[in-house]
Amino acid sequence: MKQRTSDEIIHAADDIDWMVNEYYEQCKSKHIQRILEIGGWELGYLPEEYWNEAGVRELIENWPAEADDPPPFIPGPENTSDVVALTEIIGQYDLSGDPEFPQASEHEYFAVLALELVGWFVHHAQQPPDLNRAGWCAIEAMDALCYAERLQQVAGLLDELSSERNKLSVLKGDIESASNEKAKEKISLQAAKAARKRHEETDSMRQEVIDYWEQHINPKLSAEKAALGMAGAFPLSHRTVRDYIAAHKKTLKVR
């Protein structure tokens, strides 16, 4: 509240009075609507031709003194504190868009209400003192202040949670990116096994070619001619057979 001007605080106090009165009016309207929709004992005090919104409202707002029953309980200034009323209604409104109390938060409104109640406490405590009202205002001011502090703490926790959530979101993105890169570097197990099998089959076939060459082909022949002489003996191309023989002859140091 230290950053707020006196004009902003006065404007917020006016908004609080409006919201509190709006809450009481909403409660009254809902009660009247309920009576009209499903009936109620209150209709027993009205002629049937007055069973409409205007008639029921007149009855509720001007309860007959001679009635056997007390008036129905409807939240109002005589039975409900401004703190309770503001708590019930403030969530209906977007508080951040008021240019005369910019970027407001709920806890600030309750802080303003506490300040207003302190003012009423001072007023009732002065001569002639009304200690009952002064005491009630003091208690309500404490309730409003405690609620404001609680809202501020909750707002702080929500900000921290939001910050941590953002950090986790970034971390999750980094992990997913790293996982995707790692996945690109990996090959499937089946692909690896297939590659290994092909390699083993190649080694086996190479050895068969070498064995055949050693047993049936004149080692003095060039690799090219030896491969021609082995044509059709293996399901391999002429070039592959030639390369196998040439590589083997190098290990034997035979031309």
User: Euclidean distance between the first and final Cα of the chain, in Å?
Assistant: 98
Per-residue pLDDT, averaged over 141-156, amounts to 84
For the beta carbon of residue 59, count every other beta carbon within 10 angstroms. Answer: 20
Better-predicted residue by pLDDT, 10 or 243: 10
pLDDT average, residue stretch 166-181: 75
CA 26 to chain centre: 31
Smallest CA-to-CA distance from 90 within 159, 144, 153, 160 is with 144
Length of the chain: 255
Helix (H) or strand (E) holding 45: none
User: ∠ CA(20), CA(77), CA(108), 5° rounding?
Assistant: 35
Confidence at residue 109, expressed as pLDDT on a 0 to 100 scale: 92
Q: Angle, nearest 10°, between helix axes 6-38 and 82-89?
A: 80
In angstroms, the CA 2 to CA 60 distance is 43
The predicted structure's pLDDT at residue 30: 95
The mean per-residue pLDDT over the stretch 158-183 comes to 73
Encode pLDDT of 8-38 as tens digits: 999 999 999 999 999 999 999 999 999 999 9
Q: Tell me, what's the pLDDT at 189?
A: 64
- Of all residues in the chain, the percent with pLDDT exceeding 90 is 39
Q: What is the mean pLDDT of the chain?
A: 85
Rounded to the nearest angstrom, the gap between the alpha carbon of residue 160 and the centroid of all alpha carbons in its chain is 13
Q: Which pLDDT score is estimated for 159? A: 67
pTM above 0.85, yes or no: no
Across residues 34-48, what is the average pLDDT?
92
Calculate the alpha carbon distances from 77 to 30, 48, 141, 245 in Å.
17, 30, 16, 107
Taking only the tens place, the pLDDT of each residue in 183-233 is 666 666 676 667 777 777 777 888 888 888 888 887 778 888 887 888 778
Whether pLDDT at 160 is above 80: no
DSSP state of 235: S
- Cα separations (Å) of 113 from 7, 44, 122? 15, 40, 14
Give residue 253's Cα distance to chain centre.
75
